[in-house]
Amino acid sequence: MKLKINKYIASIILIIIPSVAFCQYDTIYSSTGKVIGSVKEIGENSIKFTYPNEDLINNLNKNVIKKIVFKSGRVQTFSNMTGYKTVKSGLDYENVSISLVFEEVKGLYKIGEAGAKAKGTTLMSSIEKVKERAIRKMKITAAMQGANVIYQTQINTTDNIPNEKNGLGFTSKAGQPTQTTISGIAYSSELPSYEEFKQKIGDRKLFTVVNLYEFENVYNILDPFNTNTDIKEINVTKKIEIYSISEESGLINVEAKIEKESNTKFRVIFFNNEEFTLEYKTDKGIYNFRVKI
């Protein structure tokens, strides 16, 4: 009996000791998890800290930090991280923010390129309306990739150019309507967790696709001015069989077969308890599949 009691006490001590040890440190919660250590300095753009039993100073960009729970119990949250909105698919393009300052996206996760072009339908087209259309298309492109922030790198807008006439009053050179070309880099403030997604899926292989979202950005003879800025939403009921799930540079890649679809390689851009969203790109455009769990 005495031996059993001693083992019980020893077990309790083994549980308590690590807990007490961690109470001596601060806990930093970032978009990729939590870090245990000692916060040394909170600067304008980054946080300096050391790991337990180490003297080396490490840096974390404030853009990826949600909060810090200090060993005293005080909690400090960071508005940069909490200000970002969730993007589940391309339909959430209005949740995408645009930054003109690189420091604001430093430390976030680069997803891919985002750009768009819009052209006026007549020589009297509003410059601002055309610019708004280009920005909207760029946001859709980013959201379809699972990004919620764009670092805008370039924007070029040309004014309406009127027709040129010769001495007889006939048009010698056709005018050009206003046009805006915009480009940027798409970022995400938080990537879906590979381990959590695997746990959520478990051993299941078969699921059902319930929606297809398409955003094609190719020349259409019926839309010569490329005015379309709508996502095509299609309700479907398709079976999907997942072959494999892998991680590369923090991104979740899925190899799967969807009924009547030739593409087999996708990326998970969002998931929760009820669904997940897959993304893939072609030369024609970007596509999202909404899948029920």
Q: What's the total number of domains in the chain?
A: 3
pLDDT tens column, 75-128: 998 876 667 899 999 999 999 999 998 988 888 999 999 999 888 877 777 889
Same domain, 167 and 249: no
Both 198 and 180 in one domain: the answer is no
Length of the chain as a residue count: 293
CATH of residue 133's domain is 3.30.110.70
φ, ψ for residue 20 (rounded to 5)? -65, -40
pLDDT of residue 170 exceeding 90: no
Which residue type is seen at 187?
A: Y
Same domain, 175 and 247: no
Residues 120, 227: contact at Cβ < 8 Å?
Answer: no
Structure tokens at 235: 């309700």
Residues 205 and 150 in one domain: no
Q: Which domain holds residue 66?
A: 2-81
Global pTM reads 0.76
CA distance 92 to 112: 17
Q: Are residues 224 and 264 in the same domain?
A: yes
Query: Are 182 and 115 within 8 A, CB to CB?
Result: yes
**Residue 9 and residue 49 in one domain:** yes
* 189-226: pLDDT as tens digits: 989 999 999 999 999 999 999 999 999 865 455 555 56
Residues 122 and 97 in one domain: yes
Task: Indicate the residue among 128, 159, 188 that finishes a domain.
Answer: 188
The pLDDT of residue 293 is: 93
Residue that is last in its domain, among 32, 62, 81: 81
179 shares a domain with 115: yes
- Is the model's pLDDT at 166 over the cut of 70? no
User: Domain boundary at 63, 81, 99, which?
Assistant: 81
Please write the tens of the pLDDT for every residue from 36-65: 999 999 988 788 999 999 999 988 888 778
